[in-house]
């Protein structure tokens, strides 16, 4: 599937002309009072003129533009950026719908401001081989994404060229998808674009062939994602932030062993349910980072640790678990606790969305290893190791719960 966001932005940049200050100087002998006086008078006049000109020039200097779309390539987004989107709404909404499932993309952005108005942005894959995916994730390739300006935002619309199957059995070209994106720039006080925020909406619709084939109407739906895109250079420069809230965690699996659950297989997406969200509280300043971490795991045991930083930016930490075990075939609970000892870790957990100094989303690496205890080894279903690793996306639940 082609990864396509679209955006564009213009900015009016005030040109500041150079002001040459000419200092007059007079000369003469002590005996020539007239010459000396005339010279002093001339110097005073020029100084007054210079002061007046300087004040007038200051009045003409425009404040930095902090809204709308940029028109200058020096202001428009460029270079390496990372985007995070998370599911915020679904229609029709199932009774058990939980928002927050997330994924990330990497972009190399080139602005085109040759039209004299708002810049167009061309997004290419910023990963290995031009992939839009993060490292170790199955490559996502496609044509460059061209974001065109539309008012104060960049928009993009795409109808996927190929329809797909609607069920495992009905795999013909029956379900068609359209994608619409909308992104607006976020400026700091100096007129620098520090991020892009907006929405991505997917609409799945059955075609006539799909309806005739017997595809269930339930496969149709609309899926709305909130999207934030941040410059990698801005992330690298971030040295101070606070975090305080509950975060929904999504794991995009890149390595797996010993799991039967499809969401823990390579390529799977696993998102925590309410009650198992991650609580983070702490701060990072001047290279000193300490964030308290707590989470109720799948066995209702509490994980706790402190995430710290070695580089003044990304967080890392290790937590320990104990766990129970279910029968692989029947799902029957064999042990409530004590079947496994586990250890997990977060590495390179980097803030990618910061609002008023407070982090709203992180991207990082996650690893977890469970080993059977002597008790666990008494049951075949509990006697093997389980390992999982992947990209972790943490999104503040206040964004979609509030």
Count CB neighbours of 112 within 10 A. Answer: 13
Beta strands 333-355; 193-206: pairing state? unpaired
The pLDDT, as a whole number, for residue 199 is 94
Helix (H) or strand (E) holding 41: helix 33-60
The pLDDT, as a whole number, for residue 62 is 55
Residue 261 phi, psi dihedral angles, 5° rounding: -65, 125
Residues 6 or more apart whose Cβ sits within 8 Å of residue 132: 3, 105, 106, 107, 125, 126, 140, 141, 142
pLDDT tens per residue across span 241-279: 999 999 999 999 999 998 888 899 999 999 998 899 999
Q: 327 and 257: one domain?
A: yes
The pLDDT, as a whole number, for residue 242 is 94
Question: For residue 169, what are the β-bridge partners?
Answer: none
Residue 169 lies in a domain: yes
Residue 57 lies in a domain: no
The dihedral of CA 91, 262, 141, 110: what is its sign?
A: positive
Q: 319 and 220: one domain?
A: no
CA 281 from chain center: how many Å? Answer: 20
Residue 109 lies in a domain: yes
Q: 219 and 114: one domain?
A: yes
Q: 106 and 196: one domain?
A: yes
pLDDT tens per residue across span 104-163: 999 999 999 998 889 999 999 999 999 999 999 999 998 899 999 999 999 999 999 999
Segments in 106-251 forming alpha helices (H): 208-213, 232-237
Structural domain of residue 142, as residue ranges? 8-13+67-236
The dihedral of CA 84, 87, 88, 91: what is its sign?
A: positive
Is residue 252 within 8 A of residue 103, CB to CB? The reply is yes
Q: 183 and 169: one domain?
A: yes
Nearest of 355, 347, 397 to residue 241 by alpha carbon: 355
Residue 22 lies in a domain: no
Count CB neighbours of 200 within 10 A. Answer: 23
Q: 259 and 229: one domain?
A: no
Q: 230 and 209: one domain?
A: yes
The pLDDT, as a whole number, for residue 355 is 86
Residue 365 lies in a domain: yes
Q: What is the C-alpha separation between 330 and 129, in angstroms, rounded?
A: 44
3-state secondary structure at position 165? coil
Domain boundary among 185, 206, 236: 236
Q: 209 and 263: one domain?
A: no
Domain boundary among 179, 206, 236: 236
The pLDDT, as a whole number, for residue 74 is 92
The pLDDT, as a whole number, for residue 17 is 18
The dihedral of CA 255, 260, 264, 265: what is its sign?
A: positive
Residue 317 lies in a domain: yes
Ranges of residues in the chain whose predicted pLDDT is under 50: 1-54, 56-59
The pLDDT, as a whole number, for residue 94 is 86
Is residue 51 within 8 A of residue 59, CB to CB? The reply is no
Residue 47 lies in a domain: no
Residue 392 lies in a domain: yes
**Pair of tokens at residue 341:** 């000892």
Task: Say how many domains are in the chain.
Answer: 2
Q: 200 and 311: one domain?
A: no
The pLDDT, as a whole number, for residue 402 is 57
The pLDDT, as a whole number, for residue 331 is 85
Q: 210 and 250: one domain?
A: no
Q: 232 and 261: one domain?
A: no
**Does the reported pTM lie above 0.85?**
no
Q: Is 160 exposed, middle or buried (0-12, 13-18, 19+ CB in 10 A)?
A: middle
* Whether residue 169 has a cis bond before it, omega within 30° of 0: no
Q: Please give the radius of gyration of the chain, using alpha carbons only, rounded to the nearest integer.
A: 29
* Helix, strand, coil distribution of the chain in percent, nearest 5: 15, 50, 40
Q: 281 and 346: one domain?
A: yes
Domain boundary among 188, 205, 236: 236
């Amino acid at each position: 599937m082609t990864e396509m966001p679209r955006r564009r932005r213009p900015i009016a940049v005030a040109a500041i002309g150079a002001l040459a200050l000419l200092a007059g100087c007079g000369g003469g002998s002590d005996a020539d009072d007239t010459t000396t006086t005339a010279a002093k008078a001339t110097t005073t006049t020029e100084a007054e003129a210079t002061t007046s000109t300087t004040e007038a020039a200051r009045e003409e200097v425009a404040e930095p533009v902090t809204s709308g779309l940029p028109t200058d390539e020096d202001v428009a987004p460029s270079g390496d950026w990372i985007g995070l989107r998370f599911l915020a709404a679904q229609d029709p909404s199932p009774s058990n719908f939980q928002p927050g499932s997330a994924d990330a993309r990497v972009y190399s952005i080139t602005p085109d401001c040759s039209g004299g108005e708002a810049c167009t942005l061309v997004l290419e894959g910023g990963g290995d081989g031009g992939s839009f995916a993060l490292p170790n994730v199955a490559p996502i390739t496609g044509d460059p994404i061209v974001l065109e300006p539309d008012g104060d935002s960049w928009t993009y619309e795409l109808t996927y060229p190929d329809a797909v199957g609607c069920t495992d059995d009905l795999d013909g070209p029956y379900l068609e998808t359209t994608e619409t994106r909308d992104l607006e720039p976020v400026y700091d006080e100096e007129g620098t674009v520090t991020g892009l925020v907006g929405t991505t909406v997917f609409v799945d619709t059955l075609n006539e062939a799909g309806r005739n084939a017997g595809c269930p109407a339930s496969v149709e739906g609309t899926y709305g994602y909130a999207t934030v895109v941040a410059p990698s250079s801005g992330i690298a420069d971030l040295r101070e932030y606070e975090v305080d809230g509950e975060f929904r965690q999504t794991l995009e699996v890149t390595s797996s062993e010993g799991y039967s659950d499809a969401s823990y297989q390579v390529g799977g997406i696993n998102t925590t349910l309410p009650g198992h969200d991650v609580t983070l509280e702490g701060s990072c300043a001047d290279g000193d980072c300490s964030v308290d971490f707590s989470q109720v795991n799948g066995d209702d045991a509490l994980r706790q640790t402190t995430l710290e930083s070695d580089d003044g930016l990304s967080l890392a930490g290790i937590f320990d678990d104990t766990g129970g075990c279910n029968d692989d075939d029947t799902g029957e609970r064999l042990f409530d606790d004590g079947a496994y000892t586990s250890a997990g870790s977060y590495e390179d957990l980097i803030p990618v969305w910061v609002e008023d100094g407070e982090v709203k989303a992180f991207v990082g690496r996650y690893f977890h290893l469970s080993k059977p205890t002597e008790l666990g080894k008494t049951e075949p279903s509990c006697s093997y190791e389980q390992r999982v690793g992947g990209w972790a996306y943490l999104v503040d639940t206040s964004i979609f719960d509030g």
